[in-house]
């Protein structure tokens, strides 16, 4: 069973899904969120009370009062994706890391594209801070949703682009 909710933020509406074990999905797009839910084959119920802590931490993040999330995750990943997300979780607020840096840190220095694929498939953006990943040449790189959204998130963290 997934418990879903939405919240309005300074960057727009966010869609949240969690299970009894933890946060499973954050999305900025209603169609993508619906497709994700349909693809899980689980029942779901709209219940804001189950996502209050995630919503509180997100609000604190957007207000500049939270630098590191303390949220249990219940995400389905491959071992490779998990290793990428573990590295991302260690990237400090307001700092950037390249796809190559991540590849090197997981002992797969030639796997930059695979790292990019894992970053693109991150089911819980912001919490696992995929917006902090840039190209090794210093350019902003991509983002699974919208590049302007990535820029907004980086500006919230004080990153000058």
CATH architecture of 79-156: Orthogonal Bundle (1.10)
| Number of helices and strands in the chain (H, E) | 6, 6
At 11-60, the pLDDT tens digits run 999 999 999 999 999 999 999 999 999 998 879 999 999 999 999 999 99
* Catalytic residue (choose from 23, 73, 115, 130): 130
Domain ranges of the chain: 2-62, 79-156
Record the pTM.
0.94
Backbone angles phi, psi at 144, to 5 degrees: -60, -25
Is domain 2-62 given the CATH code 1.10.150 in the classification?
no
SS3 readout for 87-119: HHCCCCCCCCEEHHHHHHHCCCCCCHHHHHHHH
Catalytic residue check, 130: yes
């Amino acid at each position: 069973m997934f418990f879903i909710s939405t919240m309005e933020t300074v960057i727009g509406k966010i869609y949240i899904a969690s299970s009894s074990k933890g946060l499973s999905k954050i999305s900025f797009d209603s169609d993508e969120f619906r497709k994700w839910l349909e693809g899980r084959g689980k029942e779901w119920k709209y219940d804001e009370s189950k996502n209050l802590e995630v919503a509180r931490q997100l609000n604190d993040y957007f207000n500049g009062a939270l630098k590191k999330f303390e949220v249990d995750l219940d995400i389905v990943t491959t071992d490779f994706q998990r290793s990428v997300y573990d590295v991302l979780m260690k990237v400090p607020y307001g700092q950037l890391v390249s796809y190559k840096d991540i590849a090197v840190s997981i002992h797969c220095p030639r796997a930059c594209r695979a790292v990019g694929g894992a970053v693109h498939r991150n089911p819980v953006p912001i919490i696992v801070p995929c917006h902090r990943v840039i190209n090794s040449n210093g350019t902003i790189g991509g983002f699974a949703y919208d590049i302007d959204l990535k820029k907004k998130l980086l500006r919230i963290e004080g990153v000058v682009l």
